[in-house]
Structure 1
């Protein structure tokens, strides 16, 4: 039972004191699968998961001279991964994915009603602004829901109860609807009605 921690210590000591790339390669191969599975439960795209892990190990190597060779290595790496995942869900490309999803649903309507273009752009700006100020769990639940994930799957990926996810989605919907009703230039438009109807389906 004590063999694995001893191996970790040998790897960490070699990496820290001798810049040993072979030890780093062993550590990488040993830890990769578990970290990948952990991240893949929360992030849909396999390439995104691989990119995150690549960045994690690069960062680990860059900080090799400051590591504690007595540390719990798996716990340390999972801690790094946790913050990488949070950064991922805060990234603009994820928010843009949500905006693109919403845009695709009403783009045909805007093409047929060009007079609504200004309202459409205003609603996009409003949506992005509200996402910026949402608490992390609320924003993450909303992003995953708009990727068509069921409540149960979202709860699993986020490590939360299903009721907590529902509560976050309900509050997100409430915030969005309130923001729409406060904007006189969009509140009575057909597009805002479309968006409000979509928001009402969030916690189902």
Structure 2
């Protein structure tokens, strides 16, 4: 048995931040089954639930140097699982429509690039930019755009004020607008170089 087995979740996370793979493995085994059970109940699919939980732990490892846990690790992993489950539930019926709406809202397309920038490329870039948002901001944005919940519904669900919800969504859209516009600019620049070659 590992000496780390008796460490608290937050102690293990502090070790994880220092690239300690053993601490990560212990947290993984400590929470895998619990999170899988929650995901299976919501998704009614063991395969989808496994994918969601695996993605959550992968994200934790990748973001270990930039995410600071405010409360407990349990709260942190539960929140990640919650929004990933919602994203999975929404992906088949709402993803295309929701992201198309965001692309329109953010004015991400322009005439110079729309002929060769595919929707899938842009959608994938939006997904990457959404994942770069702070945890709570990302959760609220996904609840709004992927699940179609109103500000009041999100506020009731998370026990926060509608104004706070509105502020998070506004912050997310501002961030995404900058991120996507930068992406489109880089593509346009690359296209210019290819044209000159």
Same fold flag (TM > 0.5): no
- Please tell me the TM-score bracket, short chain as reference: 0.3 to 0.5
TM-score, normalised to structure 1, is 0.42
